[in-house]
């Protein structure tokens, strides 16, 4: 099967814009096989590139919120476990969550040798599957662009709940005031108006991300300009 | 006396101990999460919230029932106070030289005569009134089928006219059509100043006489600003 085939199958697996809130349906459609799933969540299919981009994400996490050997970490929207595979080698335990069982099936295959990992299918938007005060770090990368604003905030609120006091939160998105962000914006702009897919990328502003974290109760909220042209907001759950 | 070497050794030992504690604590949390997931409590947080919500609704219902019972008791107590006061006034009345003068009982406000009504109130008046106004909604018709021509609420002698003739299709479907009152619904907005007040829901029959549908006392306690 060639990458061209996967591109074709990905094109036909897209749900219409009106289904944007039906995340489970949208992402189950795009997880029919590993190549389509990889294209949908990472934009490429080869393992070496997946590993390289995952390393980049881990570097960003290290430079913004830090990653410790004793950290219990949760990723919101882990997809095929792109980041989880290398990150699980640098922490005590990594929990990957996704709303698509199909994505998690591919992640399970990739992570089968990593014993300190757990994969959990989310029943809906939120992290209700987890108890409070459990994690040292909750992060969400390359996901907010596919969510509506209210759902972005829901995840930030839930991250606050499940983090232990002193735990760190990281979320990112693209913003239109950088060259990279503008390029992503123009890619979405180029869609014919009646063919915009449900997962079409939508930007965040710095103030939007800062507001979510502040309103959720995080302390030491910061917005970072990342090396890859995205922006990230980070915060710390205050002591109880 | 300790040497710098001793201090460094001690510091390293403490740091190792701290790392060990942190690791044990993190392992405990991983175990807790795993057990949480293993027990099938995937939606336990939502479930807990729903249970809390149901318990709050039940408590609210019980509180409303308690309030209604309390209101009834207060009504009985007020009636008894009125009766005892009247008896006391009669006993204190001065006697003339020709004998006991009959006690002058103050003329009560002309009561509105009652009449049997079938009625239902969508917004219960049995509550603690927290706002400055309250809208009573419901439906009513007299058992004898006479036409209801107006509706009002009397609060401490002040009357509030209501809007009559609102459709109640479910009532008509259940009881059958009362020809004189095809649309028995009503709506009345009253002011609810702080304190206890008498409350009487009244209907005018056939364009002339007013009849009481139900009466109670109400307690208004506005929210602190």
| Residue B134 placed within a domain | yes
Residue B103 pLDDT level (bands cut at 50, 70, 90): very low
The pair of structure tokens assigned to B185 is 């619904």
Rounded Cα distance, A158 and A123, in Å:
14
Classify residue B51: in a domain, yes or no.
yes
For residue B149, the Cα-to-chain-centroid distance in whole angstroms is: 29
pLDDT of res. B57: 77
Q: Rounded to whole angstroms, how far apart are CA atoms B42 and A120?
A: 9
Pairing of strands A219-225, A231-236: antiparallel
Has residue B24 been placed in a domain? Answer: yes
Give the gap in angstroms from C-alpha B48 to the nearest C-alpha of chain A.
10
One domain, residues B163 and B200:
yes
B26 and A135 within 8 Å at the Cβ level: the answer is no
According to the model, what pLDDT value does residue B110 have? 45
Structure-token pair, residue A162: 């499940």
Query: What are the DSSP E strand ranges found in B143-194?
Result: 148-155, 158-161, 163-166, 185-191
Q: For residue B111, what pLDDT is reported?
A: 44
User: In sequence order, which residues have a C-beta less than 8 Å from that of residue B164 and are 6 or more positions away?
Assistant: B148, B149, B150, B151, B185, B186
ipTM, 2 dp: 0.74
Distance CA B163, CA B143 (A): 21
Q: Number of structural domains, chain B?
A: 2
Over residues A51-77, mean pLDDT:
95
Sign, CA dihedral B86-B92-B93-B99, equals positive
One domain, residues B71 and B19: yes
pLDDT in tens, A65-95: 999 999 999 999 999 999 999 999 999 999 9
Domain-embedded: residue B83: yes
Q: Which long-range contacts (CB under 8 A, 24 or more apart) does A69-73 make?
A: A69/B23, A70/A136, A70/B19, A70/B22, A70/B23, A70/B26, A71/A136, A71/A137, A71/B26, A72/A134, A72/A135, A72/A136, A72/A137, A72/B26, A72/B29, A72/B30, A72/B33, A73/A135, A73/A136, A73/A137, A73/A138, A73/A139
Residue that has been written with the tokens 């979320």 in this structure: A171
Q: Does residue B207 share a domain with residue B153?
A: yes
Q: Report the distance separating Cα A95 and Cα A236, nearest Å.
A: 19
Token pair, residue A197, equals 């897919």
Best interface-test mutation with B: which of A67, A69, A71, A72 has the largest number of B CBs within 10 A?
A72
Rounded mean pLDDT, A235-239 = 96
Task: Determine the average pLDDT of the residues in B10-23.
Answer: 91
Determine whether the interchain pair A118/B34 forms a contact, defined as Cβ–Cβ distance below 8 Å: yes
Low-confidence winner among A186-195, B55-64, B71-80, B211-220 (lowest mean pLDDT): B55-64
DSSP state of A32: S
> Which residues of chain A approach chain B closer than 8 Å at the C-beta?
69-72, 92-93, 95, 118, 120, 123, 128-131, 134-136, 164
CB distance B32–A120 less than 8 Å?
no
d(CA A240, CA B21): 20
**CA–CA distance, A93 with A225 (Å, rounded to integer):** 28
* Residue in B29, B32, B40, B52 to test binding to A, most A beta-carbons within 10 Å: B29
- Yes or no: say if A221 and A234 are a contact pair by the CB < 8 Å rule: yes
Does residue B99 lie in a domain region? no
Mark whether B80 and B125 lie in a shared domain: no
**Interface size between A and B, measured as CB pairs under 8 A:** 48
Structure tokens at B74: 């207060």
Q: What is the CA radius of gyration of chain B?
A: 33
* d(C-alpha A235, C-alpha A169), whole Å: 5
Least CB-CB distance to B43: which of A93, A128, A131?
A128
Minimal-distance CA residue of chain B relative to A120: B37
CA dist., res. B30 & res. B22, Å (int): 12
CA–CA dist B93, B96 (Å, integer): 10
Task: Give the model's pLDDT for residue B113.
Answer: 58
CA distance A122 to A67: 24
> Residue A62: which pLDDT band, with cuts at 50, 70 and 90?
very high
Give A235: exposed, middle or buried? Use CB within 10 Å, 0-12, 13-18, 19+.
buried
Chain B residue with the nearest C-alpha to that of A122: B42
Name the residue of chain A whose CA is nearest to B29's CA: A134
Q: Give residue B201's domain range.
A: 117-220
pLDDT score recorded for residue B108: 38
* Helices and strands: H and E segment counts in chain B: 3, 9
Using an 8 Å Cβ cutoff, are A92 and A71 in contact? yes
SS3 assignment, position B190: strand
Residue B194 falls within a domain, yes or no?
Answer: yes
Of A63 and A15, which is predicted with more confidence?
A63
What is the model's pLDDT at position B95?
Answer: 58
- SS3 letters for A193-226? HHHCECCCCCCCCHHHHHHHHHHHCCEEEEEEEC
CB-CB under 8 Å, A134 with B33: yes
Helix (H) or strand (E) holding B214, with range, is strand B209-220
Last residue of a domain, one of B40, B73, B90: B90
In a domain, B100, yes or no: no
Same domain, B76 and B129: no
Residue B57 and residue B138 in one domain: no
| CA atoms of A100 and A97, how far apart (whole Å) | 9
CA distance B27 to B122: 56
| B59 and B129 housed in the same domain | no
Q: What is the CATH number of the domain that holds B128?
A: 2.60.40.10
Q: Which residues of B29-62 are buried (b: 16+ CB within 10 A; e: fewer)?
A: bbeebeebbeeebbebbeeeeeeeeeeeeeeeee
The pLDDT value given to residue B105: 42
Closest residue of B to A162, CA-based?
B33
Instruction: State the pLDDT at residue B51.
Output: 63
Q: Does B24 touch chain A (CB under 8 A)?
A: no
The minimal CB distance from B36 to the residues A72, A131, A164 is found for A131
Q: For residue A133, give the DSSP letter.
A: S
Last residue of a domain, one of B90, B109, B128: B90
State whether B129 and B52 are in the same domain.
Answer: no
Tokens of B90: 């009669």
Q: Domain ends where: B75, B90, B105? A: B90
* B171 shares its domain with B216: yes
Q: Is residue B207 part of a domain?
A: yes
Q: Which residues of A touch B38 (CB under 8 A)?
A: none
Region B139-157: mean pLDDT is 92
> Cα dihedral angle (A75, A77, A82, A84), rounded to 10 degrees?
20
B127, B215: one domain: yes
Contact A96, A81 (CB under 8 A): yes
Residue B19 in contact with partner chain A when CB distance is under 8 A: yes
């Amino acid at each position: 099967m060639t990458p061209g085939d996967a591109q074709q199958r990905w094109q036909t697996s897209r749900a219409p814009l009106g289904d944007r809130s039906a995340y489970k349906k949208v992402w189950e459609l795009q997880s029919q096989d590993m190549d389509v799933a990889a294209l949908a969540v990472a934009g490429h299919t080869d393992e070496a590139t997946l590993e390289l981009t995952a390393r980049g994400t881990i570097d960003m996490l290290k430079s913004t919120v830090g990653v410790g050997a004793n950290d219990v970490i949760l990723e919101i929207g882990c997809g095929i476990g792109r980041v989880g595979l290398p990150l699980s080698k640098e922490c005590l335990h990594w929990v990957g969550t996704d709303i698509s069982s199909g994505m998690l099936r591919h992640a399970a295959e990739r992570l089968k040798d990593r014993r300190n990992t757990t994969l959990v299918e989310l029943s809906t938007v939120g992290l209700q599957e987890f108890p409070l005060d459990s994690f040292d770090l909750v992060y969400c990368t390359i996901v907010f662009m596919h969510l509506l604003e209210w759902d972005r905030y829901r995840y930030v609120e839930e991250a606050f709940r499940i983090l232990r006091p002193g735990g760190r939160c990281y979320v990112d998105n693209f913003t239109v005031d950088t060259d990279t962000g503008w390029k992503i914006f123009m890619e979405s702009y180029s869609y014919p108006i009646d063919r915009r897919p449900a997962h079409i990328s939508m930007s965040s502003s710095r103030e939007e991300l800062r507001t979510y974290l502040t309103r959720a109760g995080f302390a030491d909220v910061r917005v970072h300009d990342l090396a890859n042209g995205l922006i990230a907001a980070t915060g710390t759950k205050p002591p109880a | 006396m300790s040497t710098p070497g001793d201090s460094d050794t001690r510091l390293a030992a403490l740091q190792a101990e701290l790392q060990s504690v942190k690791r044990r604590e993190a392992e405990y949390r991983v175990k807790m999460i795993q057990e949480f997931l293993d027990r099938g409590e995937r939606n336990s947080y939502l479930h807990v919230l729903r249970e809390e919500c149901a318990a709050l609704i039940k408590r609210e219902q019980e509180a409303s029932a308690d309030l209604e019972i309390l209101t009834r008791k207060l009504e009985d107590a007020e009636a008894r106070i009125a009766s005892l006061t009247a008896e006391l006034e009669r006993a204190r009345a001065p006697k003339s030289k020709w004998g006991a003068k009959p006690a002058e009982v103050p003329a009560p406000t002309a009561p509105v005569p009652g009449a049997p009504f079938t009625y239902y109130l969508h917004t219960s008046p049995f509550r603690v009134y927290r706002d400055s106004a309250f809208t009573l909604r419901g439906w009513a018709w007299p058992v004898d089928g006479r036409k209801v021509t107006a509706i009002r609420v009397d609060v401490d002698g002040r009357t509030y006219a209501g809007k009559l003739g609102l459709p109640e299709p479910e009532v008509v479907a259940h009881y059958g059509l009362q020809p004189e009152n095809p649309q028995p619904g009503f709506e009345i907005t009253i002011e609810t100043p702080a304190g206890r007040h008498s409350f009487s829901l009244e209907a005018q029959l056939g364009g002339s006489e007013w009849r009481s549908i139900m009466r109670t006392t109400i307690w208004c306690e506005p929210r602190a600003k």
